[in-house]
Structure 1
Amino acid sequence: MPGRRLSPRDRDRRAPLALLAEAGRDIAAASLAIRRRPFRTLADRLEQPQQGAPADAETIYWVRRSVLAWGRRLPWRAKCFEQGLAAAWMLRRRGLAYELHYGANGGGGALKAHVWVTSGGAPVVGCENAADFSRLASFAG
């Protein structure tokens, strides 16, 4: 599912500083966790049951916007996996439901992996090209 395009009015809206700080901290923590922890440990922590409602459109907008802003500006690799973990953690912290999807695509001879996050079926991050990947696993929280 494609993400919502930003209108000129939305481009002028600035994310709250606390949310930007939270997203930056979470992407940094995700980057470190991916490098230091086995995937199974990360997956187990993501799949802890939670009875939250799906995120509303406004929350999705701000989580997406703040995570993507950091992902573009960090001096190290902060691609789909790091951004997906950060978005999932931010939604979990708010008591909201999320699903982190892990997929792969073997087209072109090279195996490519991708992570995307949804909440109640609504795209949060990484969903723009999710249709190009076969889902291997989903972790609900």
Structure 2
Amino acid sequence: MTSAWIKFLRQSLFIQCWAIPTWLLLGLSKLAIFRLSFRKLAPRLGILQAKGYWIPLISEKQRLRAKQISKLVQGIAPYTPWESNCFPQAITARFLLGLYGIPGALYFGLCRDAGQIKAHAWVCSGSVRVTGGYSFNQFTVVGAYLFTLKMS
């Protein structure tokens, strides 16, 4: 058995069960990004926060599940044959958190680096940085979508 399989088999049952569906969700997220205009995609991300940005509080049980989802999405993303950068990861994490009824926020940010503008997307739920790391200190938030209910 290869070391990758051994590493996979040492993961929690949650990660083992969700590995293939998450791989597929990353692909569907990437496809949605390319096929849908942002105007059509945005309502599925949550409620646009027009003023101020905040992250909803979550219970300890939700925090533990959000950490599992974080480990899952970030662990599967490198194994996709397409580039699963921050945006598909954020959409996938948002979907999985919504599926479990865990509130959170999906952020979009911009920064200037060596004369170029860089964009980034990340998801936070309570104190958990689900995807994209802690990006508030590097990127200026230009959009935030709050989600609290299961995806429709």
**Does the alignment reach a TM-score above 0.5?**
yes
Which residue of structure 2 lines up, in the alignment, with residue 14 of structure 1? 11
More helix by share: 1
Structure having the higher Rg: 2
RMSD of aligned residue pairs (Cα, Å): 2.3
Instruction: Determine if the alignment matches structure 1 residue 79 to structure 2 residue 79.
Output: no
Instruction: Look up the SS of the partner of 1:127 in the other structure.
Output: coil
Identity, % of aligned pairs?
26
Distance 1:20 1:130, change over 3 A: farther
Normalized against structure 1, the TM-score is what? 0.81
Corresponding residue SS for 2:77: helix
Deviation beyond 6 Å, 4+ runs, structure 1: none
**Counterparts in 2 of 1:105 and 1:48: CA distance versus 1, 3 Å:** closer
Matched residue, 2:94: 88
Q: Which of 103, 116, 119 is matched with 1:110 structurally?
A: 116
Mark the runs of 5 or more structure 2 residues left unpaired by the alignment: 1-7, 49-55, 148-152
Aligned residues: 129
Q: Which residue of 2 aligns with 1:54?
A: 58
Say whether 1:101 aligns with 2:100.
no
Q: Compute the TM-score of the two structures, normalised by the length of structure 2.
A: 0.75
Distance 1:62 1:120 in 2: 14
Q: What letter matches 1:25 in structure 2?
A: L
Q: Is the 8 A contact 1:103 1:113 kept in 2?
A: yes
Contact residue 66 and residue 102 of structure 2 kept, 8 A: no
Structure 1 unmatched runs, 5+: 1-10
Confirm or deny that 1:35 pairs with 2:34: yes
